[in-house]
Amino acid sequence: MAVEERDPVSGYLTTGHEWNGIKELNTPVPRVVYFFLWATFLYSVVYWILMPAWPLGVTYTKGLLGSDQRNIVAVQLKDATAERARWSKLIETESFEAIQADKRLMTIVRQTGATLFGDNCAACHGRTAEGGSGFPTLVSQAFLWGGTPDAIAETIRVGINSPHKDTRTSQMPAFGRDGMLKREQIDDVVDYVRSLSNPAVGKAIAPAKLASGKAVFTDNCVACHGENATGNIELGAPNLRDNFSIYGGDAQSVFTTVWGGRQGHMPSWDSRLSALDRKILALYLVNLRAAGP
Amino acid sequence: MGFLGLHYRLERKTMSLAIGIIIAASIGGLIEIVPLFTIHQTVEDAPDMRVYTPLEIAGRNIYIREGCYACHSQMIRTLRDEVERYGPYSLAVESKYDHPMLWGSKRTGPDIARLGGKYSDEWHVKHLINPRDVVPESVMPPYAYLTRAKVRVDDLGLHLAALRKVGVPYTDEMIANASNDAYGQTSPDTPFAEGVTKRYGEATNVRAFDGQPGEPTEMDALVAYLQILGKLTDAAHKAKTAAAGE
Amino acid sequence: MIAQLTKSERQLALIILLALTICGLAMAIAGRQDPLGVHGAIVMLAGIAGIFGVIYVYYEPEPDEARLALYYDDPTKVAIILAMIWAVLGMFIGDWVAWQLVFPNLTFDASWSSFGRIRPAHTSAVIFGFGGNALIGTSLYVLQRTSRARLPDQISPWFVLLGYNLFCVLAATGYLMGVTQSKEYAEPEWYADLLLVIVWVVYFIIYLRTLARRKEPHIYVANWYYMAFILVVAILHTVNNLAMPVSFGHAKSYSAFSGVQDAMTQWWYGHNAVAFFLTAGFLGMMYYYLPVRAGRPIYSYRMSIISFWGITFMYMWAGSHHLHYTALPQWVQTLGMTFSVMLLVPSWASAGNALLTLNGAWYKVRDDATLRFMMVAAVFYGLTTFEGSFMAIRSVNSLSHYTDWTVGHVHAGALGWVAMITFGSIYASVPWLWKRERMYSPALVEWHFWLAVAGLFTYVFAMWNSGIIQGLMWRTYNDSGTLSYSFIETVVAMKPYYVARAIGGLLFLAGAVVGSYNIWMTIRTAGQPVDARAADLPVTQPAGVPALQPGE
Ligand code: HEM
Ligand code: HEM
Ligand SMILES: [Ca+2]
Ligand SMILES: [Ca+2]
Ligand SMILES: [Cu+2]
């Protein structure tokens, strides 16, 4: 059966086998195949000699170059840090005012801060730092813990109600759930509080109700939110007169706040971000606020 | 030619061909996999490494069930940009108790190998209920149903026992108390909570992850797992400082 | 079709189905508090449906002895139909997955439909459902013809085909319920894995028994590849799926390996699932259908040998290229990278062998869309393996890994190579199997071809773009030496490419739907039946007489 024949197209002999009509030519393997086989093998051999490659029971060949991906990246990181030292030393050591006055440094702060903020903070505070429900805006004048670069840097370092040992701690008590105030009292104080930042609300409410709300406020809230309800940065109690609110200024949200209390949680970045990164972020935020509305 | 001639003989005998294939195909795997068990340096030493709590195991199983690994890696490579973005590169020891590992092969979302402690529980809950509520640009699916489903805890002892069979050092006590510990981890003010820190260490997160103490929900379990990512051992951070100091 | 079975085969079928039903019942009871129970019910229903099917024809007359003179193609026919059903289903889900990345709320607030659950449903439906059925169907077809021997019996092929499809159903429904081991391409849980082991052993035995009875002294290349596919997948599957179930009443199991060893085992498996499922098996397919359709001899027997052993040996080392720069020790990465580079040579030798076989038949490629499917497949096989070897280089992989570039590479292989060679082979075999002169509509084959090519290019270019852009954005530094982009900015930048990919996928899916319709109509509407026996007797054909009908 193994009758070889010559293929008229290529001129090569067949192997003489046939399967269901399929035949095979006995064409020699083109030289180029062997060439590349050897070339890639040679490349591999060289690579094996230079690099960690072959296992030997309880160890492996380390390669002539002594290359190790972990050392390489460690060196790269060190070099990168050294390379950045031309400006990072200044940011680390100079005062906030001095840095803010330095256009060149502030350009770097904006560049670097934007990515740091995007990767770490934007999830809560939004990409534009304008906040969202439950997470405060960082571009307003309304700061819970103070808006100076120092205060912001400290907030970032220790967090708010975080597990960090120096954390800033704050809590809005649950006046309703814990039975400190009655339902009507809460309704009244909610109206009153809303009228503080929104005169239109004040007009729509009966003066008697407003007065009662004010009384409740004086008895229960000024301790934290202050005589004028402008907040207290010692306690992290927000200003209730401005147009910013963390949890929303509508009646339902304010009611929920007073009824159930609040305790926002801002993580500490002490062990996650370097002091330099945190300082850049504080400067970045101050800068953003200055540029913002 | 020798090789072609050898083949010419093989292709006429079914069993020889089959055995030839098996031999040719076995060599690579044997040489690459077996030494990973025999070369000690493959997995770094980390005496502080702790095992997952039962609740974290339940959360990990939900992570697997939902296919989060299809979008999130848990493997920070030894590349400058990854270390600068996500933190110290991942060590082998960090997934020593991971059966299976969840290193991932696609980053539609960011790497989460060092996620633990990065965000608050409330944020995670909000994010999982609807990612676009907190990150408007996100393409991650919503998982609101996790807050509604109670996590199954009665069989967690069996899970721990199965894990022990494949090599995770759970003690008899841990196995016996698995269900209670899962409950205790989400109920800080109950006697059950103490058992958790006693067995798994003071640093264990014991709190109502989804905001509601008591019977753990799937949300509790998943968030408990997310909050422990990268925190089972400090080895990676130590390695980083060691490398920087040389 | 069941009427083709002899009495004793019908009895054996009943016994197997009864055993299956009992297994299902046991699973349903043991797993009543667990998704395992649902799977038990599915297994039981499958068993009962089978029992009814057999009983229905149990007393029909037995088939006559004349059948033994013919090849046994009923399982192949069913496998091809199943392959097309899985193709449409799997690609539909794939496109849905793609649109979810554009409209993330396309989950309809259900748990089963979220990205992480339907993505593996897509990969399994296309690889195992579509690819696997096509491989089983064509392998049985090719095996018989190139051995000139009928399958050894009529039960084992059905056992393999239907058992395999039960595995696929368990896989796909499992993901929707959240049953998964999370190991890519090996996601099904322990009981489905066990089922596959049994099916696979029987599959290999069919191969051995048929080859043992072959009337050709030599085993044809296609069968080397099909054998490598069966054998190596068996090894890979068994090792990678070693796991400890929580209990016999739980679907959940814990992988035997952990951490770095688990990662290496998984990617040794994962890469070689590509090599032996998506490559070796389909090379077997190509080695039969391409020369037959082109009417040309294989360009070089010797090159077949080199590439076969090169692929079988070298692929198995390459898996660690999925773990570059990770916690996997660097020496393993080195081996994975170097073997991937060497692997390019046998891969291109196969692609070259296929394309050179077309010498002397290029005019047919121009006129015949079926052959053109196969030609494009060979080209994309070459492209994908080149791309793969390139991406396996550590420095390239540092950019491509974790990005859509990988997905682009996958689909260059999956759409360009796997799906194209399959469609070509199916278009070639459907008229032969159903004894039609040609496909119902050659024009629709042409339509399918162009839809597929358009979809393929749109998909792959979109992913190359998005992958490379994202990879570069992740590592771009500004002039202060700090990262330029936050992660979320890269997510935003992907949007237009995700839209393009989803549209490309839709085109490809449309092609598959057109193809299914065409195949269905070919089966239903009789053309001019050619003499069934002349073309298909398992006897030597006089040399020189074309064994098969000419193309359309
Ligand atoms: C010489 C041949 C090939 C080589 C060296 C190769 C190499 C690679 C590399 C380097 C990756 C990326 C791994 C990563 O960074 O995560 C990859 C992924 C992949 N390749 Fe290939 N490839 C080859 C051929 C093919 C072919 C023909 C297919 C057919 C479909 C294919 C399917 C895949 C799949 C499905 C993945 C994705 C794996 C995952 O889930 O991450 N490859 N391949
Ligand atoms: C209509 C055609 C198809 C569309 C629209 C489609 C779409 C998709 C999508 C959206 C993904 C997920 C990618 C991601 O996570 O970002 C994916 C993954 C995948 N698809 Fe497809 N697909 C199609 C056809 C196929 C076919 C025919 C095959 C195989 C024969 C295939 C094999 C795969 C594989 C292996 C993966 C996993 C890739 C990885 O993990 O890297 N796809 N596909
Ligand atoms: Ca993947
Ligand atoms: Ca499996
Ligand atoms: Cu691979």
Summarize pLDDT for C253-301 with one digit per residue, the tens.
999 999 999 999 999 999 999 999 999 999 999 999 999 999 999 999 9
Provide the pLDDT confidence category of residue C200 given band limits of 50, 70 and 90: very high
Q: Give yes or no for residue C412 CB within 6 A of ligand 2.
A: no
Q: What are the φ/ψ torsions at residue A195 (nearest 5 degrees)?
A: -70, -25
Tokens read off for B191: 């006697």
Q: 3-state DSSP call for residue A26?
A: strand
Q: Give yes or no for residue C189 CB within 6 A of ligand 2.
A: no
Q: Give yes or no for residue C122 CB within 6 A of ligand 2.
A: yes
Q: Do A74 and B123 touch (CB under 8 A)?
A: no
CA nearest A43 in C: which residue?
A: C338
Q: Tell whether the model's pLDDT for residue C540 goes beyond 70.
A: no
- CA nearest ligand 1 atom 37, residue: C410
Residue B139 has a pLDDT of 97
CA–centroid distance, C190 to ligand 4, in Å, is: 6
Residue range A157-184: mean pLDDT, rounded: 94
- How crowded is the C-beta side of A182, counted as CA atoms within 13 Å? 3
- Point out the least confidently predicted range of A245-249, B38-42, C20-24: A245-249
Closest CB from C299, C304, C482 relative to A112? C482
Closest CB from C111, C257, C326 relative to B75? C326
- CA nearest ligand 1 atom 7, residue: C388
Higher pLDDT, B215 or A49: A49
Q: 3-state DSSP call for residue A19?
A: strand
Residue C232 has a pLDDT of 97
Q: Which of B32, B80, B130, B138 to mutate to test the interface with A (most CBs of A within 10 A)?
A: B80
Residue range A81-98: mean pLDDT, rounded: 95
Q: Which CATH architecture is the domain A71-167+266-291 placed in?
A: Orthogonal Bundle (1.10)
CA distances from A286 to A120, A123, B76, C206 (A): 17, 19, 32, 75
**CB under 8 Å to A101, separation ≥6 — which residues?**
none
Higher pLDDT, C428 or C108: C428
Q: What is the pLDDT of residues C440-450, one digit of tens each?
A: 999 999 999 99
Q: Quote ipTM for the complex.
A: 0.95
Domain boundaries defined on chain A = 14-60, 71-167+266-291, 183-260
CA nearest A71 in B: which residue?
A: B243
Sign of the C-alpha dihedral, residues C294, C296, C300, C306? positive
CA–centroid distance, C312 to ligand 5, in Å, is: 14
Most ligand 1 atoms within 8 A of CB, residue of C187, C410, C418 to mutate: C410
Closest CA to A153 of A86, A96, A232, A109: A96
Q: Give yes or no for residue C417 CB within 6 A of ligand 1.
A: yes
Determine the angle formed by the axes of helices C330-357 and C369-391, rounding to 10 degrees: 160
CA nearest A2 in C: which residue?
A: C217
Q: Do B39 and A58 touch (CB under 8 A)?
A: yes
| C243-245 and A59-60 strand pairing | unpaired
Atom of ligand 2 nearest to the CA of C119: 12
Residue C534 has a pLDDT of 42
Q: Tell whether the model's pLDDT for residue C551 goes beyond 70.
A: no
Tokens read off for B42: 């493959």
Average predicted confidence (pLDDT) for chain C: 94
Residue range A80-97: mean pLDDT, rounded: 95
CA–centroid distance, C129 to ligand 2, in Å, is: 13
Residue range A55-82: mean pLDDT, rounded: 96
Q: 3-state DSSP call for residue A89?
A: helix
Q: What are the φ/ψ torsions at residue A68 (nearest 5 degrees)?
A: -145, 120
Residues on chain C touching A11 (C-beta within 8 angstroms)? none
Q: What is the pLDDT of residues C398-408, one digit of tens each?
A: 999 999 999 99
CA–centroid distance, C406 to ligand 5, in Å, is: 10
Residue range A17-28: mean pLDDT, rounded: 92
Q: Tell whether the model's pLDDT for residue B212 goes beyond 70.
A: yes
* Cα–Cα distance, C325 to C106 (Å, whole number): 35
* CA end-to-end span of chain C: 28
Q: 3-state DSSP call for residue C401?
A: coil
Residue C139 has a pLDDT of 98
Residues on chain B touching C218 (C-beta within 8 angstroms)? 11-12
Q: Are C368 and C551 in contact (CB under 8 A)?
A: yes
The CATH H-level superfamily of A183-260 is Cytochrome c-like domain (1.10.760.10)
Closest CB from A25, A36, A114 relative to C345? A36
Closest CB from C306, C325, C342 relative to A29? C306
Q: Give yes or no for residue C350 CB within 6 A of ligand 1.
A: no
Rounded to a whole number of angstroms, the distance from the CA of A102 to the nearest CA of chain C is 15
* Cα–Cα distance, A231 to A242 (Å, whole number): 10
Rounded to a whole number of angstroms, the distance from the CA of C289 to the nearest CA of chain A is 9
Residue C539 has a pLDDT of 39
Residue A2 has a pLDDT of 57
Q: Are A68 and A75 in contact (CB under 8 A)?
A: no
Give all chains having 3 or more CB-to-CB distances under 8 Å with chain A: B, C
Residue A5 has a pLDDT of 86
DSSP state of C477: B
Most ligand 1 atoms within 8 A of CB, residue of C97, C126, C271 to mutate: C271
Residues on chain C touching A91 (C-beta within 8 angstroms)? none
Residue B1 has a pLDDT of 53
Q: What is the pLDDT of residues C300-343, one digit of tens each?
A: 999 999 999 999 999 999 999 999 999 999 999 999 999 999 99
Residue range B51-58: mean pLDDT, rounded: 98
Residues on chain B touching C257 (C-beta within 8 angstroms)? 99-100, 166
Provide the pLDDT confidence category of residue C543 given band limits of 50, 70 and 90: very low
Q: Do B117 and A124 touch (CB under 8 A)?
A: no
Rounded to a whole number of angstroms, the distance from the CA of B155 to the nearest CA of chain A is 32
Chain B to chain C Cβ contacts (< 8 Å): 268
Residue range A2-31: mean pLDDT, rounded: 88
What is the CA B156 to chain-centroid distance, rounded? Answer: 17
| Amino acid at position C429, single letter | S
Q: Are C219 and B18 in contact (CB under 8 A)?
A: no
Domain boundaries defined on chain C = 1-70, 71-526
Q: Tell whether the model's pLDDT for residue C168 goes beyond 50.
A: yes
Residues on chain A touching C489 (C-beta within 8 angstroms)? 118
Q: 3-state DSSP call for residue A156?
A: helix
Closest CA to C118 of C103, C137, C96: C96
Residue range A258-275: mean pLDDT, rounded: 95
Angle of CA points C509, C515, C520, to nearest 5°: 130
Provide the pLDDT confidence category of residue A290 given band limits of 50, 70 and 90: confident
Strand partners, A19: A22
How many percent of chain C have pLDDT more than 70? Answer: 95
Can you list the pairs that A28-34 forms with residues at least 24 positions away whose Cβ atoms lie under 8 Å? A28/C300, A28/C302, A29/C300, A29/C302, A29/C303, A29/C306, A29/C349, A30/C303, A33/C303, A33/C306, A33/C345, A33/C349
CA distances from B16 to A107, B10, B132, C143, C147 (A): 71, 6, 60, 18, 17
Provide the pLDDT confidence category of residue A133 given band limits of 50, 70 and 90: confident
How many percent of chain C have pLDDT more than 90? Answer: 91
Domain C71-526 grouped into CATH 1.10.3720.10: no
Q: Tell whether the model's pLDDT for residue C532 goes beyond 60.
A: no
Residue B99 has a pLDDT of 97
Rounded to a whole number of angstroms, the distance from the CA of A253 to the nearest CA of chain B is 16
Sign of the C-alpha dihedral, residues C37, C41, C46, C48? positive
Residue A222 has a pLDDT of 94
What is the CA C437 to chain-centroid distance, rounded? Answer: 28
Closest CB from A73, A120, A163 relative to B78? A73
- Asked if omega into B100 is within 30° of 0 (cis), the reply is yes
CA–centroid distance, C186 to ligand 3, in Å, is: 12
Provide the pLDDT confidence category of residue A211 given band limits of 50, 70 and 90: very high
